[in-house]
Amino acid sequence: MNQIRTGGLKKSIMDYGLKGESIICFAGEDWWYHHPHSKNHILRRLARDNKVLFVNSLTLGLPSVSNKDFFLKISRKLKSYLRWLRRVPDGLYVMTPIVLPFFGSRALRWINQHLLLIQMRLAMFFLGIRNPILWVAIPSAADVAQRLQTKILLYQVSDKYDANEDSALSRDVIRTLDQRLKNLADVVMYSGRKLFEESHVPHRYFLEQAVDFAHFAEPAPEAAPDAVVIPHPVLGYLGALDYVMDVPLIEEVAKRRRDWHWMLVGLRSNLVRIDAPNVHFLGPKPYSELPAYVRQT
């Protein structure tokens, strides 16, 4: 751990001690559209001394057509496909492999496995990646993870995947893929204490959720222009606004405490609709600007 001092405040720069390796991460989110998760932050740091390929989410299957986000998700995924393989300013590569968004049948999973293998091997050849450390964070990568030759396989479990309400994929299929990865993995990491405690996997570790301390520890000099106009007291939220939000609860609290103002910053799903004068949706913001929104809370 190295430390630097900025404005009288010590900030830490994490040195992971991993250098000269090739790392492939099958993420559970899309680099281009979703808010950066812990994987994004860690891989950005690892890319300083390692060759890193971030593979955008393979999805757990499409939501049902009746889902209000169905066409939004289709549109975003098609745009992501068009980028296929790109190098980003952080020094790593981001790839959106083209697959069929169906994992419910063995035949379609077989097709996807071969589509993925062709694209992955092509990208690995182009980037000079051999025998990588493989980091998997989504069950639908199980088939391809089993076929790639890797130095070590790490499976990160950050959710109860078979309880996902955002996918039409069978829970039995998700459980099967999840269990296969747990059996294949050299290391299984849990980012939720309850999930960790409920697990019986012997080679499991608990990796608790954290915060980018260096980014948020020093207050922004002033609040963001669209936040400073929100009256206090302010209840702030930074993150995805989707099906996991308890919309009725927010509506009820907003109705009962009209003097409380909700400042919601992040990408909003069509499922989150609240019409109240004290609930403010400010939309997604660049990560670098988030401290200016925290300043208003």
pLDDT tens, residue by residue, 201-249:
888 888 887 788 888 888 899 999 999 999 999 999 998 887 778 889 9
CA angle, 12 as apex, 10 and 18 as ends, to 5°?
Answer: 160
Residue 195 and residue 200: Cα distance in Å, rounded? 10
What integer pLDDT is reported at residue 11 of this predicted model? 39
Residue 189 and residue 157: Cα distance in Å, rounded? 6
Cα-flanking dihedrals φ and ψ of residue 131, to 5°? 50, 60
pLDDT tens, residue by residue, 119-140:
999 999 999 999 999 999 988 8
What integer pLDDT is reported at residue 2 of this predicted model? 39
Give residue 77's pLDDT band: very low, low, confident or very high (50, 70, 90).
confident
Average pLDDT over residues 83-107: 83
- For residue 36, give the DSSP letter: P
Query: Is a pLDDT exceeding 70 seen at residue 6?
Result: no
Q: Give yes or no for a contact between 33 and 80, defined as CB atoms under 8 angstroms apart.
A: yes
What integer pLDDT is reported at residue 4 of this predicted model? 31
Residue 150 and residue 26: Cα distance in Å, rounded? 13
Could you tell me which residues come within 8 angstroms of residue 78 by beta carbon, excluding any fewer than 6 positions away? none
Average pLDDT over residues 22-50: 85
β 279-283/261-265 pair status: parallel
What integer pLDDT is reported at residue 171 of this predicted model? 76
What integer pLDDT is reported at residue 168 of this predicted model? 57
Alpha-helix residue ranges (DSSP H) falling in 150-246: 171-184, 193-198, 213-216, 225-228
Residue 24 and residue 19: Cα distance in Å, rounded? 14
Domains of the chain are 2-206 (3.40.50.11010), 221-294 (no CATH)
Alpha-helix residue ranges (DSSP H) falling in the chain: 38-46, 70-83, 106-127, 142-147, 171-184, 193-198, 213-216, 225-228, 247-256, 290-294
pTM for this prediction: 0.77
Q: Give yes or no for a contact between 82 and 97, defined as CB atoms under 8 angstroms apart.
A: no
Query: What's the mean per-residue pLDDT of the chain?
Result: 83
What integer pLDDT is reported at residue 9 of this predicted model? 37
